[in-house]
Amino acid sequence: MGSNTEQLDLLIIGAGPAGISAAYAAKVEGLNYLVIERGLLAHTIYNYPVGLPVFSTPDELEMLPGTLELARDKPTREELLAHYVRFILEQNLRINTEEEALELKHDDGESFSVRTTRSQYRAMRVLVAVGAMSRLRRLNVPGEDLPKVQHRFVEPFPFVRKDALVIGGGNSAAEAALFLAEGGARTTLAIWPSDWENRDPKAGAIKAWVRTPLEREIKENRLQIVLFKRIEEITEREVRIETEEEARLLLPNDAVFILIGSDADLMLLRQAGVEIVRSERGCDVPVYDQETFETNVRGIYVAGHFTNARHIKDAIAVPRRIVPLIAQSLRAAAV
């Protein structure tokens, strides 16, 4: 492992919309910055299903006004990904991909040291923008580790004329079920009754533009809905489900998609002594100043999906606000 003796002003961890936006703001401020990304550029978006039209409007997603080019009114995964990659290339942002941050700690004195899979860095300020997709949730049922079980959905083509089961109550599960049904798989969506009945967009209901075509697929018998209580077991050829009516259902099955959400990995923040609390939504969030996004550890900042500013719009907007404040604090410390 190499050691990098360069003293950075700002080290940014994660190159999703928040990390890319922060890199641009750091460049504008003339900071000596670096972004460390463990996967590819905008890896979370790279992991969206192939061809997915995203739900946000271009003005909420683009890095600079009027620069996201589209064929229709909403961008697809491919258009959004191309936009972020082009922005990084045009702005020549300093981002190391396929390098994971493993350890974040206070050095002696004012700065921090960050150990990665390739090197060791020192930085005066650290912005953690690792998103909330690190830990894909599991059902923890027998058979979940069979090769036919996936915790991500990529595309429907391998499943034409196959029995596919999607488990989950949110948009990702509903979208995957829709893609599979439209793409020619014999599809079942297993969903909790409370999720299926939920129509409140603020409480995470399936978006209307997914639900309407989903209901059409059900009506036309291309998609089956199972209101379930518990998945009992996944085997090579079947899935055994306990339904709401206490009945046992044995579904023939070739592929299972468990799409029940994900959690952030806040290990780096914990290591550095950042206080973490349980939010109303039941997930862990760091404690931070609502204006500056600085945590209780002075010099460590947070942005993006695992904070309360969750969507891409805020993941981009918050770094634009806070990086100039970080630059100011560095200038003040230098005099």
Ligand X SMILES: Cc1cc2nc3c(=O)[nH]c(=O)nc-3n(C[C@H](O)[C@H](O)[C@H](O)COP(=O)(O)OP(=O)(O)OC[C@H]3O[C@@H](n4cnc5c(N)ncnc54)[C@H](O)[C@@H]3O)c2cc1C
Piece of 10-18, 184-192, 241-249, 281-289 that binds ligand X (CB under 6 A): 10-18
| Among 170, 164, 211, 215, residue whose Cα is nearest residue 191 | 170
Q: At a CB cut-off of 8 Å and minimum separation 6, what does 289 contact?
A: 295
Number of neighbours of residue 105 by Cβ within 10 angstroms: 12
- 317 vs 321: CA distance, rounded Å: 7
Using rule CB under 6 A, residue 43 touches ligand X: yes
Using rule CB under 6 A, residue 58 touches ligand X: no
Q: Which of residues 278-307 bind ligand X (CB under 6 A)?
A: 304-305
**Rg, C-alpha atoms of the chain:** 22
- Least Å distance between CB 151 and ligand X? 12
- Least Å distance between CB 248 and ligand X? 32
Q: How many residues bind ligand X (CB under 6 A)?
A: 32
Question: What is the DSSP code string of 253-279?
Answer: -SEEEE---EE---HHHHHTT--EEE-
Piece of 37-45, 139-147, 185-193, 222-230 that binds ligand X (CB under 6 A): 37-45
Using rule CB under 6 A, residue 14 touches ligand X: yes
- Least Å distance between CB 149 and ligand X? 18
Using rule CB under 6 A, residue 37 touches ligand X: yes
- 90 vs 187: CA distance, rounded Å: 43
- Least Å distance between CB 173 and ligand X? 10
Q: Which of residues 114-133 bind ligand X (CB under 6 A)?
A: 129-131, 133
End-to-end Cα spacing for the chain: 35
Using rule CB under 6 A, residue 55 touches ligand X: yes
Site for ligand X, rule CB under 6 A: 13-19, 36-39, 43-44, 48, 54-56, 100-101, 129-131, 133-134, 172, 304-305, 310-313, 315
